[in-house]
Amino acid sequence: MTERTEAFRMITADIEDQAGLVTNQIQAEVRQMEEEEIQYFTVLTKKETENYREREIGELKLLQATKTSQAKLKINRDLLGRRQAMAAELFDEVRRRLQQFAAGEQYAQFLEKKLQSLPQLKDKNGTFVVRKEDEALMGQLLNKLGYAQPVQTGDLPLGGFRFLCPEEGFEMDETLENAVKMQKEWFQNHSGFTL
C-alpha cells in the first residue's frame, strides 16, 4: 500500500512538473505571438477608419482566443497521454509483482486469511474457482478451515479465487486481477486529471 501511495505521489508530482513546464513554454509563445500580431495590426489600423480598426481588433482577439484554446487542449491531450502511459507502466509492474507474490510462500497465507474473513460462505451451496496451479492448495485450505464446497479451475491469471453460488444468484470475486481492476478504476476516478 505504501509503495502504491509513493508511486501515486511520484506520478502526480511528475505530471504537475511536466504540466508546469509545458504551460510556461506555451504561455511564453502565446505572449510572443500576441505581441507580434498586436504590433502588426496596430500599424494597419492607424491607416484605416475607426470602424475598420475595431473590426480588426475583434478578429485578432478571436484568433488569439482560438489559438490559446487549441494550445491548452493540446497540453491537456499531451498530459493525458503521458499520464496514461505512466499508469499503464505502473499497473504492469503491479501485475508482475502480484505474479511473483502468487508464486511465493506468503500466497497460501493470503488465501487462508481471505477464507477466514468469509465464514458466511461455509453454509452456502457454491463452488470455489481457482487457477489450475492453486487447485490442490485451495482444497487443503478449505478442508483445514471446514469448508465443504468443491473446487474448480478457471482462468484467473493472477490468482485468488471466485465463489459462485448459482442457487442464491451471487458471485464473490476475490481474485487478484479484480483487485488490480478496482485499484485502476479508483486511480482513474481520483487522479484529478480531466479534460
Mean pLDDT by 10 residues, the chain (195 residues): 74 76 76 79 69 82 85 82 80 86 90 92 92 94 92 92 92 91 85 59
Q: What is the DSSP string of 55-107?
A: HHHHHHHHHHHHHHHHHHHHHHHHHHHHHHHHHHHHHHHHHHHHHHHHTSTHH
Query: 6 with 93, same domain?
Result: yes
Domain final position from 102, 129, 163: 102
Instruction: Report the candidate in 177, 188, 192, 21 with the shortest Cα–Cα distance to residue 88.
Output: 188
Answer yes or no: do 71 and 126 share one domain. no
Who's near 160: CB < 8 A, 6+ residues apart? 111, 114, 130, 174, 175, 176, 177, 178, 179
Q: Are strands 160-165 and 170-175 parallel, antiparallel or unpaired?
A: antiparallel
**Does residue 165 sit within a domain?**
yes
Determine the pLDDT at residue 45.
67
Q: What is the DSSP string of 17-31?
A: HHHHHHHHHHHHHHH
Q: To the nearest 10°, the Cα dihedral for 73, 54, 33, 68?
A: -10
| Domain-located, residue 193 | no
- On whether both 15 and 44 belong to a single domain, the answer is yes
Range of the domain at 54: 2-102
In a domain, 194, yes or no: no
- Prediction pTM value: 0.57
Q: Is residue 68 part of a domain?
A: yes
Same domain, 35 and 62: yes
Helices 2-47 and 50-102: angle between axes, nearest 10 degrees = 170
**Residue 44 confidence (pLDDT):** 63
Are 92 and 124 part of one and the same domain?
no
**Per-residue model confidence (pLDDT) at position 172:** 93
12 and 70, same domain (yes or no): yes
pLDDT of residue 192: 65
**Are 163 and 126 in contact, with CB atoms under 8 Å apart?**
yes
Domain identity same for 113 and 165: yes
Domain co-membership, 72 together with 112: no
Q: Tell me, yes or no, whether 139 and 96 share the same domain.
A: no
Q: Does 134 share its domain with 159? A: yes
Q: What is the pLDDT of residue 135?
A: 94
pLDDT at residue number 48: 65
pLDDT of residue 1: 59
CA distances from 67 to 42, 58, 73, 105 (A): 20, 14, 10, 58
16 and 68, same domain (yes or no): yes
141 found inside a domain: yes
Taking the C-alpha atoms of residue 35 and residue 50, their distance in angstroms, rounded to an integer, is 21
Which of residues 56, 87, 102 is at a domain's end? 102
Quote the number of domains for the chain.
2
96 and 12 housed in the same domain: yes
What local confidence, expressed as pLDDT, does residue 139 receive?
94
Are 147 and 163 a contacting pair, CB within 8 Å?
A: no
